[in-house]
Amino acid sequence: MSETQTATQTITPNIWSDGAAEEQAEFYAATFRDCSFEITGRYPEEGLPDFQKAMAGKPVTVDVSLAGTALTIINAGPEFTPNPSINFMLNFDPVLYSDAADYLEQVHTALSADGFVMMELGEYPFSPKYAWVQDRYGVSWQLILTNPEGGKRPFVLPSLMFCGPAQNKAREAVDSYIALLPDSGWGTVAEYPEQTGPAPKGAIMFSEFRLAGQWFTAMDSGVEQPFSFTEGMSLMVAAHGQEEIDRLFAALSTVPEAEQCGWCKDSYGLSWQVVPDNMGELMQRPGAHEHMMGMGKLIIDDF
């Protein structure tokens, strides 16, 4: 069963786009119901470093609202690309959509066009209709027909697949995230009943958990994967005040060379952005972009 995402969303998934953020947002708005977008910032016309000069005047970020869940597309260069280690599980709930099965098929057709099918659309032990596809922009989506008698969940659940260097660390990682943020905890946890590929018996086959009141899923991959977490998909946390920024950044940042403009990388390789909850206001200050580019951890008084 689905629920509407809360109005205050502390953690926003960010998707890296190679200069196609606006086009990508238009694609999602055409693919999904209850989906809209807004360009929320543009690169300055002057003062950009050489590697960004081609972006002058173009959108910096595009905010997408998908069935009440906020996503942000970062308009940048070819440095990073999304991969399935962070993906989105979509709950097609007959309570929310009377034609949920048909809607799922429509979305599957749109997302798989010029994309890649990771798991074919069909019936599986956990759902009468399910598919996993990677769209033309490299973003991965799990489409699942939900049991309307189950617990309430939003349409969009950001999903973490622990693989590569982070293989079999789902439980440890999620425990650390839950300890870090209020209104957090485990939901359903299903374990592998036996060794499955690189996942030993007892590793997490599927789980749900809440961070700051938001639902996520996590799993240890049952297949050896050629990828793991990168900056191509990151989680942005809105922190209230400098003290909260300091606390979160200290806990999440384990790779000093990854610290730039509020970005950091945790011990599992997952990229986070720790930003003030009044970031939009701060970016309106004169020279804010230039000041931010010189920061690792964001310092509110330095904007």
- 198 close to 224: Cβ distance less than 8 angstroms: yes
- The per-residue pLDDT for range 166-215, each reduced to its tens digit, is 999 999 999 999 999 999 999 999 999 999 999 999 999 999 999 999 99
Token code pair at residue 119: 């798991």
pLDDT band at 150 (very low <50, low <70, confident <90, very high): low
The residue type at 236:
M
The residue type at 179:
A
- Answer positive or negative: Cα dihedral of 165, 86, 202, 181: positive
- The per-residue pLDDT for range 32-43, each reduced to its tens digit, is 999 999 998 787
List domains and CATH numbers for the chain.
Answer: 2-79+231-302 (3.10.180.10), 86-220 (3.30.720.110)
- Answer positive or negative: Cα dihedral of 81, 83, 85, 91: positive
- The per-residue pLDDT for range 251-294, each reduced to its tens digit, is 999 999 999 999 999 999 999 999 999 888 888 888 887 888 88
Report the distance separating Cα 99 and Cα 113, nearest Å. 22
**What does pLDDT average to over the chain?**
92
Report the distance separating Cα 142 and Cα 156, nearest Å. 10
- The per-residue pLDDT for range 206-258, each reduced to its tens digit, is 999 999 999 999 999 999 999 999 999 999 999 999 999 999 999 999 999 99
Beta bridge partners of 210: 185, 215
User: Average pLDDT for residues 24-32, to the nearest whole number?
Assistant: 98
Report the distance separating Cα 300 and Cα 297, nearest Å. 10
The residue type at 170:
A
